[in-house]
Amino acid sequence: MVLPRALTPPADPDLPDPTPPARARTSAPRRLDRILPAVVLLAIAGFALLGIGSPLIGQATFAATDEMVSAAPYSEVPEFAEVRPTNNYLDDTWDSALPNTIVFADQLKNGNLAAWNPYTAGGVPLGATPNYGLGSPLTLPFYTLPEWFAPGIVKLLEIIVAVGGMYLFLRRLRLGTAPALLGGLVFASSAFMVVWTGWPQTRVAAFIPAVFWAVELIVQHRRLRDAAVLALALAAMIFGGFPAVTGYTVATAGVYLLVRLLATDGGRWRRSVGGLALAAGGVLGGVLLTAVQLVPWVAFMSTAFVEGRGQTSDAHLSMASLVTTIAPWALGSTNPYGKVYWYLPVNLVESMSYLGAAALVLVVSAVAMARRGRAALPRATWVFFVAATFTWLVLIYGGGFPLKVAQSLPYLFSDNFVGRARCVLGFLLAVLAAVGLELLLRRRAEAREAGAAPATAGAGRLWGRAWVALVWGAVALAGVLALRDARRAAFLADRPTASSLRRDSLTLELGIGAVLLLLALACAAALWWQGGRAGGRLRIVAAVLLPVLVAGQALSFVVPYWPRADRATFFPTTDAHEYLRTHLGPDRFAGMYQAMTRSVESAFELRAATGHAFVDRRYGELIRSPSDRANFASTHVAVGGGLTAIGSPALDRMSVRYGVSSLAGPVPGTPRPAPTTTGLTTLAPGASVTRPVPGGGPVRAVVLNTVESRQWAPGDRIEAVVTDDAGREVARTDRRIGRTAANQPLYVPVAAEDVAAGARLSVTLTVRAGEGLAVQAAGGAAAVGAVGTADDGLKLAYVGTAAIFERTRALSRVRWAGTPVVEPDSARRLDLINSGTLTGDQVVLEQPASAGGGTADVRITSEGTDSTEVEVTARGSGYLVVADPIQSGWTATIDGAPATLLKADHAFVAVAVPDGTHTLRFQYSSPGGGAGGWLSLAAVLAIAGVFVAGAVRDRRRRGGRRPLVSSVPGAPGAPGSTDQPGS
């Protein structure tokens, strides 16, 4: 049988067709050849530019800081009171990823390569590890552009890299230009690449196609430079952080490499082993290139506080989430103010499974056309992608025994939620979508040859039709099961409200998805159908409509999801930040009740005991010991709930000088009940009511008991002005009313602790809202209670956009201790630290120590992100204590000579200091003595050498070429000559 050129492989079936444009011209009308690539490029541009939108032209910021300003202290700022974020699933992006990137970028612009961030969670590695993706090439815009502008450019680069990598890989698989570009669009708009935007995760996943492209280069060429390409692609992934994405990619690409080598080499084991060796060298090269961060990362994570990350076989995505494949908003949105909020138990970021209706049709088409798919692609490629897709679908959505087996492997599946493997699944599906379009476009050439070629054997046709029926039947069955589970989830979510809101929304969204699915099916059928001239025009319309459908539905997904916040919300400074900046000094604050509990304040270079980061294990144990355990996770470091732990002695030794709380939080102190209530009254809007403050001064808060449960409008506020007997203003607070609960206290904190004991005080209350505030009354007027001072080591020092409590017993972060207390047992040591019996002159050590007993003056002479220098004038021996979690990766010197870092107060360090005046310097250095940096430098030089050598060799080969045909017998290039070109 004579195959059409579209199906005829080149001489080497595993090398790309040298003339793919000609092949495309024979498989589709020439107009379609010219039009379709341009249409797909326009679809990609439309998706990127319209999807990111106004942040690309500086009218907004591509950061979810609108959610940030909806929390304290920003929520008390009038200009932010009306801000209502449309996506509250992007917490980690603004509370961890962005602040750490801002710190690093600011330091870099000042000439400092910050390896350590001292401002969050006591102090954590920053540029030393890949945790925040600071070494990713896609993070570069943060170092050259305004930080509010950079996130949008980063996303644009992600899309370019994802699409470009897919194009290179799919062209290697002999696909035409338009299908290769469409595959890139499908991947860039797939669930993982959309919902993880703003995290480093998508910066990692964007390079997945590049890794597969490099692997395919190795399969086809077996050149050393191809291994170098793999090293660069893998290094880009590793530098991006989030190793699970890299792990899933390497595992899948490794199987792909093995399958391709076995199929291509046909039992030539030496050749296969050579290919494997090149790939292994590429992986090793990628690891060595990133050793500068990997070595410190391994060292840090070996001592990090990590728990609760173990996985079980029932920890997978539900079938219900599959309905979002064609209807992204079928199970609710990210907007808490919207009609239907996401209601699956697993959150939207982890569950979303979007691919797109048109892309799904193309995927199923590629799988259904098995014979054509195998013929069109290099050997074993179609089989691999179908099998790999099925395997990941089973693991991600089925779980059970297959997932249990995978979780028995070390690290990858056992410590990471399998749903995050959607990064690789999205890539695999995008490849199949591109293959589906390619096969549909080639259908015309197949039909043209059918008349001249013998008909396919009947048995073959029968098996082909059976396979098609099986594929479409399996997809239909999966859809039915997903719909069943989704309706059950919607019913359970609706039941408490006795409504059908979620079921109705599910039906509507799936209806839209079904219409798009049918339209895409019609386009695929038009491409498959072979008619006359009218059929050719219909094919053009159908082919053009498919990328439009892909991009159009993708935009309906990303536009409501991706952030576009007002530039004014990008890490603005409030009065609370200014107060801390003025008063905090070298010590720490702790974010307490719904205020400054994350890592946001890193961006302001304010040292926090709390934050969102992986922390040292001992630090985690110390800050957790006085806390409500529910408020501490491996990466979310919080102190207590409802300010219950604000007076903890452990926080004293952690140098927590201030505690910051939302104005809506409870106020610690001595309760002073209101007079006995006799009824209800309403504080009318705009009217002022003056009442005595029970117990007089000093006072921390006045308290009302509300009688109505409701959420007040963002601009609804209550003002309290405290005055003394002479009418002088003592304190003033203006706070949002927020949410009130029936028969529950409404605290209005007031900074009136400097008032003389027993001084008579009054408070004037004014409600500034559209409606009155109903409260309990005494004697016909509002019943006002109060919170007085207590012997708890606290002072309400400031009330503005937040309530800031000074912790008067806190020890200095860099301090002198003349008396060592030795306690080697960890549990007893923590109990001792929390007992409150230690004095400020004592330090808890874990090993026998010298007697000490001296006193000293301590002065910090310089301090940066990675170093602290202290001058100590000691009168006798003792210990300089630094209350930072720097037991690993840090070194110390005394007067330039190495000093021993002693483990102190469980999580911190101390250095024994003799009598006299000394200079102590603490320095963060890469664990491993800088070995990681030297390994990376060696890898850079080696890879550069590989590319240079390859370029020189190519140049020599081009320079040594002779004419292919000569009229002189025996001349170079002539028939019979032994000096043939390329020999």
Residue 670's DSSP bridge partners are 788
Q: What is the mean pLDDT of residues 271-300?
A: 94
Q: E-strand spans in 769-854? A: 773-778, 781-782, 785-788, 794-799, 803-807, 814-817, 819-822, 842-845
CATH class of the domain defined by 814-924: mainly beta
Within 495-616, residue ranges assigned H as helices are 501-528, 533-561, 575-583
> Of 140, 152, 148, which Cα lies nearest the Cα of 56?
152
Are the C-beta atoms of residues 5 and 22 closer than 8 Å to each other? Answer: yes
What CATH number does domain 670-791 carry, 2.60.120, 1.10.3470, 1.10.1660, 1.10.1060? 2.60.120
- The pTM is what? 0.91
Tell me the mean pLDDT in the region 967-977. 40
Average pLDDT over residues 952-972: 60
Residue 922: pLDDT band with limits 50, 70, 90: very high
- Residue 63 DSSP SS3: coil
Query: At a CB cut-off of 8 Å and minimum separation 6, what does 349 contact?
Result: 89, 195, 196
Q: What is the pLDDT of residues 381-404, one digit of tens each?
A: 999 999 999 999 999 999 888 888
| Residue 794, beta-bridge partner list | 807
In this prediction, residues 587-605 reach a mean pLDDT of 89
CB contact at 8 A, 204 and 241: yes
Does pLDDT of 931 surpass 90?
Answer: no
Of 416 and 489, the one with more pLDDT: 489
The domain locations on the chain are 129-303+314-444+466-561, 670-791, 814-924, 930-983
Q: Cβ distance 73 to 576 under 8 Å?
A: yes
Q: Specify the pairing of strand 588-591 against strand 656-661.
A: parallel
Please, which pLDDT band fits residue 3 given cuts at 50, 70 and 90? very low
- Determine the distance from the C-alpha atom of residue 919 to the mean position of all C-alpha atoms in its chain, rounded to a whole number: 41
pLDDT given for residue 114 in this prediction: 94
Q: Given pLDDT bands bounded at 50, 70 and 90, which one contains residue 445?
A: low
Identify the three-state secondary structure at position 844.
strand
CA-closest candidate to residue 559, choices 87, 138, 66, 198: 87
pLDDT reported for residue 446 = 60
pLDDT class for 597, splitting at 50, 70, 90?
A: confident
Work out the average pLDDT over 150-161: 98
The pLDDT of residue 517 is 97
Interior angle at CA 428, CA 365 and CA 207, nearest 5: 140
Reported as half-sphere exposure (CB side, CA atoms, 13 A), residue 61 has a value of: 26
How confident is the model over 458-483, as pLDDT tens digits?
666 788 889 999 999 999 999 999 99
CB count in 10 Å sphere of residue 480: 11
Q: How far apart are CA 933 and CA 926, in angstroms?
A: 8
Q: What is the pLDDT of residue 980?
A: 34
Q: What is the residue-averaged pLDDT of the chain?
A: 89
- Cα–Cα dist 793/647, whole Å: 6
Per-residue model confidence (pLDDT) at position 658 = 95
pLDDT, tens digit (0-9, with 9 covering 90-100), for 204-255: 999 999 999 999 999 999 999 999 999 999 999 999 998 999 999 999 999 9
Q: Is the pLDDT of residue 831 over 70?
A: yes
Mean pLDDT of 852-869: 94
pLDDT band of residue 534 (cuts 50, 70, 90) is low
pLDDT of 643? 52
pLDDT band of residue 592 (cuts 50, 70, 90) is: confident
Residues 6+ apart with CB under 8 A from 302: none
Give the span between the Cα atoms of 37 and 241, in whole angstroms.
34
What is the rounded distance in angstroms from the CA atom of residue 527 to the CA atom of residue 29?
A: 12
pLDDT category at 456 given cuts 50, 70, 90 is low
Residue 15 pLDDT level (bands cut at 50, 70, 90): very low
- Which tops the pLDDT comparison, 634 or 497? 497
Is residue 425's pLDDT more than 50?
yes
pLDDT of res. 960: 63
Reduced to 3 states (helix: H, G, I; strand: E, B; else coil), residue 197 is strand
In the prediction, which pLDDT does 443 show?
Answer: 75
Q: What is the 3-state secondary structure (H, E, C) of 866-913?
A: CEEEEEEEEECCEEEEECCCCCCCEEEEECCEEECCEEECCCEEEEEE
pLDDT at 796: 96
Residues 6+ apart with CB under 8 A from 565: 60, 61, 63, 64, 65, 66, 85
Q: Are 795 and 806 in contact (CB under 8 A)?
A: yes
pLDDT bucket at 967, cuts 50 / 70 / 90: very low
Backbone angles phi, psi at 670, to 5 degrees: -95, 115
- pLDDT tens-digit series, residues 35-71: 999 999 999 999 999 999 999 999 999 999 999 998 8
Q: Among the listed ranges 29-38, 289-298, 449-458, which one has the minimum average pLDDT value?
A: 449-458
At residue 963, does pLDDT exceed 80? no
